[in-house]
Structure 1
Amino acid sequence: MVAVGFHSHWLNGIDYIGQSGKTASKGAKYPPEYTGYTFPLATSIVLSGQYEDDLDNCEDIVYTGQGGNNLLGNKRQIQDQVMLRGNLGLKNCMEQCVPVRVVRGHQSANSYVGKVYTYDGLYQVVNYWAEKGVSGFTVFKFRLKRLEGQPLMTTNQVQYTRGRIPNSISEIRGLVCVDISDGQEDIPIPATNLVDDPPVAPAGNCKGTCVDPKSCACARLNGSDFPYVHRDGGRLIEPKAVVFECGPNCGCGPGCVNRTSQRGLRYRLEVFRTPKKGWGVRSWDYIPSGAPVCEYIGILKKTDEVDTASENSYIFDIDCLQTMKGLDGRERRLGDVTLPTYLEKDDDKKSESVPEFCIDAGSTGNVARFINHSCQPNLFVQCILSTHHNIKLARVTLVAADNIPPLKELTYDYGYALDSVMDPDGKIRQMACYCGAEDCRKRLF
């Protein structure tokens, strides 16, 4: 970056034009269009893990100013920062609405220096403040937001895993709720908001051994084998139209591998505010492919009793039967599932065309209601039967479709067909999609 003039200093995270209109490390004068600006002015910043207080939410950044950091030692803060040089440059950028280039550094085993750098576009400095950092010294914080209308971030093309997991509640930045499950889950789920000013909390309240598959009646319904492998606490081998799990009428205990989805949360999740998509969810832990993440919880309703005029966006149709039959463009998923005889003879044509039941998480739900849509998601929907075999009332569980690194946003495909959503007047409703996927459909519905 130094060689091509993109960032003029090999070590400083902030590059800036100095008081005399020169760069921080070069002597060349800048063009006359800079006349009238107050200097110094920051031109670019690099996020590469040098500062323990940085917080990176992709399109929303809390960046730690320069100075007082033991760059050649343990990288921790060892003295207070001052409002000079690059720090003053970022402050002047905010006051004069000058955008700043943002570059990210990523660990890379294939690079001879151990890192690759990606340019992720222009960001606007929207706020700054001074606070006591993690190490107890005063640091300046600068909040930057990515300007709209730019191409997708180059970071999307690399495995983005950099991020610092907080060690305690007191270290969580932008905390608006300590536990949105209010103790209903075994693992607390904090919520953070670094987007809204002032920050607000998400609405809504949260109101849950077999060894031989040949001797397990539930395993026989799954094609005479267990749908899960024992590795990593139980992982689904492949997506199925429906998974039959052991339940209260079985002789096995809660440790049975065929009860994997019933064990509650196993990963530390965080609800966070996104710039364009409302609330989102990410995991602090690595999630292996096939691992159940969470169940979609809400109030069970009949679909024909849902108030379509309310614009409730937390309705989840239980469309297991439609998926099994490959209706309305759904990708048929059956595999080796052996259906009970009464399910194969289902003559309810209405239930075939439209799901009879749905889950309404609008007023009562769990963390799943905050998981966003993506046209290229990292979760998939899995219908599960455990306490009964009524496929119209299957439990809905979200399962990892791939290995998911820590701090990666969790997403699944909402499955809307374009032009399928109507307003109360019968007109087609449209909603733009901001998932950022390479093959994004541009519209949610």
Structure 2
Amino acid sequence: MENAKSRVRKILEEYSGNRRSSPRFAHKSREPEEEKLTTGVEDNFVKRRRKFIDVRKEAKPIPLSANNVINGLIGSNGHLDPVVTKADAHYLVVKTLRTFNKLYLHFVQEEEHRVHGISLKASNFKGQQKNSNKPNSSEKSKVDQKANLIIKRGSKRPDLKAISKMIVDGDVLYPTKVIGHLPGIDVGHHFFSRAEMVAVGLHSHWLNGIDYMGFSYGKMAEYKKLSFPLAICIVLSGMYEDDLDNSEDIIYTGQGGQDLLGNKRQVKDQKMERGNLALKNSMVHGSPVRVIRGHECPSSYCGKVYTYDGLYKVRKYWAEKGVSGFTVFKYQLRRLAGQPALTSSQVQFMKARRRLSISALPGFICEDISGGQENLPIPVTNMVDDACFPPEGYSYIKNMQLAEGLSLPPNVAGCQCQGDCINPRACACARLNGSDFPYVRRNGGRLIEAKDVVFECGPNCGCLPSCPNRVSQQGMKYRLEVFRTTNKGWGVRSWDTIPSGAPVCQYVGVLKRTEDVDDVSENNFIFEIDCLQTINGLDGREKRPGDVSFVQDMIEKKLENPEYCIDAGSMGNVARFINHSCEPNLFVQCILNCHHDIHLATIMLFAADTIPPLQELTYDYGYALNSVVGSDGEIKQMTCSCGAGNCRGRLF
């Protein structure tokens, strides 16, 4: 019987695309296949559940379902199998958060469709009232109020619906509450909503600040000597007026008695129950409590970023009259020694860095490597060695160039939408994407999930350039920086938080026939366009191709090697500096807009995860081992220096 180590390795092999056969840059999204969601399934799910699972209540240990990819890797006590490595545990956290983000974006799209539908109802209501009588100003005001009420009624929370779906499917990473650190979640890990913390099981309350083990845990043999409820985690985010935070020492205000209108004021006395009693019991037994700090973050949809700051112990507690004159419970917590240094301060450092003028950046070399071509300047910095010049030996270009003698197919007829494309049933481009739009409007446009090919609106479409189905055509939206790495040459990072599914940049260079490239093995900037392989099912990517019947002949006649490539050796954009990783935070997506020749698709890089500021951007170059052959006919090998926990060891 296979052990946990071999099972997790199988998952990792699927994730890292070890089955790829392309000899060069087979860039695929490296997410394993997940359960496909459909609108019908979600509608039934909502009708069946009707009410969000209230994780604020006492939670009983939840068994893992057969759908959970880590089934069998976590025991009934909530801990990973001891043979699973730290790198494997980190992967499982990433995988779980990607599942949450995918579900979240699905529900965001569902909400956008719902709001569009009720907006039409509101407009129809206004029209009916206008046609029936000529209303006076008072009646007109009442009509407007009712129309607005129709729009606001029944507002849904996509993040809570995503959590509910994960709980029902058994996809929460640590569904059973445990005391102490959780494998794969290190001190300094950033979460961009409370919902993400619920998804991995770090803090299972999406609203309350105190997470605790309820009385049901007292029936488990390993906890018989403990008193319950027992606190395991708190979130410190400025919700209470009496909180005091000095990093290593915390004065934490208990729960309850607060004005629910959001002004953070106490309106009645707190009681020694629930979370308050749980923190008292933690002090009595000396059990550690996880501490998470929240900071303001405009780029997060919830307005905050949460940082895991490690384990603290409750030293004492007392009751006193708070600022508003009501009794509150206070708890003094002190951080345990021997843990990694606090990283919450890095959030403030990132904010301060973004406020700096470009020329004041540490290691400043160049103000804008694009020379003003991009929407935003791309500075160059070096704090590693003495090099004081930006990268040389190439020309920066913003748009794709064509090799001599090469031309693009004529533009295809587009959709007939006016303004922005809204109705997927009426939009011809949406029908090519499986009768829905591939993007949600939130955060300027985010790709819900990786697809074989994304069909965007093009030059012959009737919609505006701002249409949300033109995401890849709207230029850079995030402030990037080219910086010197310690062992990989130049790299790229962002100053902004990049949400999962957001476009980062296009891979730009000279479009050539692959056979016309002189020596592929000596050019590290060749990107082969291989959409046909992804359509044919390589890497087990989930299939939602839509109407691609017009490319079936091309699929059947698929060439062994891609026919066209992008050469960014002598001319290219910022994408040429993005390094490889065996565990990347970006994925490659093929896009068609002007024409529908999949041999000549546009190559875009999207965020696979929510990427915090100053984290290096990487994607999987997709080489198959022993696939690069030099001009002398000998197989070439190159050591991988990505530093990922599950690095494959060789780039090719």
> What TM-score, normalized to structure 2?
0.44
Describe the SS at the equivalent of 1:321: helix
Deviation at 1:333, TM superposition (A): 3.5
Q: Which amino acid aligns with 2:505?
A: C
Distance 2:458 2:336 in 1: 49
CA contact (8 A) 2:520 2:526 kept: no
Aligned equivalent of 2:118: none
Q: Does 1:429 align with 2:636?
A: yes
Aligned equivalent of 1:263: 474
CA contact (8 A) 2:434 2:547 kept: no
Q: Does 1:196 align with 2:385?
A: yes
Distance 1:342 1:366 in 2: 32
CA contact (8 A) 1:322 1:353 kept: no
Aligned equivalent of 1:398: 605
Q: Does 1:367 align with 2:574?
A: yes
Deviation at 1:359, TM superposition (A): 0.3
Greater relative contact order (CA < 8 Å, ≥ 6 in sequence): 2
CA contact (8 A) 1:432 1:443 kept: yes
Describe the SS at the equivalent of 1:212: coil
Aligned equivalent of 2:308: 108
Deviation at 1:170, TM superposition (A): 2.6
Aligned equivalent of 1:206: 396
1:122-141 Cα offsets, whole Å, 9 max, x none, are xxxxxxxxxxxxxxxxxxxx
Aligned equivalent of 1:303: 514
CA contact (8 A) 2:368 2:378 kept: yes
Aligned equivalent of 1:281: 492
CA 107–356 in structure 1, closer or farther in 2 if over 3 Å, else same: same
Match of 1:358 among 542, 560, 565: 565
Aligned equivalent of 1:241: 452
Deviation at 1:340, TM superposition (A): 3.6
Aligned equivalent of 1:335: 543
CA contact (8 A) 1:303 1:355 kept: yes
- The structure with more strand, counted as a fraction of residues: 1
Deviation at 1:260, TM superposition (A): 1.0
Distance 1:379 1:260 in 2: 16
Q: Which amino acid aligns with 2:358?
A: I
CA 160–421 in structure 1, closer or farther in 2 if over 3 Å, else same: farther
Deviation at 1:114, TM superposition (A): 7.5
CA contact (8 A) 1:324 1:334 kept: no
Distance 2:429 2:345 in 1: 38
Distance 1:221 1:303 in 2: 28
CA 179–114 in structure 1, closer or farther in 2 if over 3 Å, else same: farther
Describe the SS at the equivalent of 1:215: coil
Q: Which amino acid aligns with 1:172?
A: L
Q: Which runs of 5+ in 1 are unaligned?
A: 1-47, 49-71, 73-105, 121-153
Aligned length: 303
RMSD: 2.7
Q: Which amino acid aligns with 1:369?
A: R
Distance 2:485 2:439 in 1: 34
Q: Does 1:180 align with 2:391?
A: no
Describe the SS at the equivalent of 2:590: strand
Aligned equivalent of 1:293: 504
- The structure with more helix, counted as a fraction of residues: 2
Distance 2:372 2:552 in 1: 41
Distance 2:516 2:364 in 1: 37
Deviation at 1:347, TM superposition (A): 6.8
Deviation at 1:118, TM superposition (A): 6.2
Q: Which amino acid aligns with 1:405?
A: P
Describe the SS at the equivalent of 1:346: helix
Aligned equivalent of 2:403: none
Aligned equivalent of 2:358: 169
Distance 2:582 2:521 in 1: 25
CA 430–303 in structure 1, closer or farther in 2 if over 3 Å, else same: same
- The runs of 4+ residues in structure 1 deviating greater than 3 Å are 106-120, 158-164
CA contact (8 A) 1:241 1:332 kept: no
Distance 1:309 1:215 in 2: 45
Describe the SS at the equivalent of 1:396: strand
Distance 1:297 1:117 in 2: 47
1:135-174 Cα offsets, whole Å, 9 max, x none, are xxxxxxxxxxxxxxxxxxx99xx99866452420232111
CA contact (8 A) 2:521 2:628 kept: no
Deviation at 1:428, TM superposition (A): 1.2
CA 399–115 in structure 1, closer or farther in 2 if over 3 Å, else same: farther
Aligned equivalent of 1:345: 553
Deviation at 1:346, TM superposition (A): 1.9
Distance 2:336 2:596 in 1: 52
Distance 1:419 1:201 in 2: 33
Distance 2:643 2:345 in 1: 15
Q: Which runs of 5+ in 2 are unaligned?
A: 1-187, 189-245, 247-305, 313-333, 400-419
CA 115–322 in structure 1, closer or farther in 2 if over 3 Å, else same: farther
Give the 5 Å matches for 1:96-135.
108-112=308-312
Distance 1:107 1:239 in 2: 28
CA contact (8 A) 1:180 1:205 kept: no
1:337-379 Cα offsets, whole Å, 9 max, x none, are 2244331122773x43110000000011100000000000000
Which deviates further from its counterpart, 337-346 or 351-360?
337-346
Q: Which amino acid aligns with 2:564?
A: F
Deviation at 1:117, TM superposition (A): 7.5
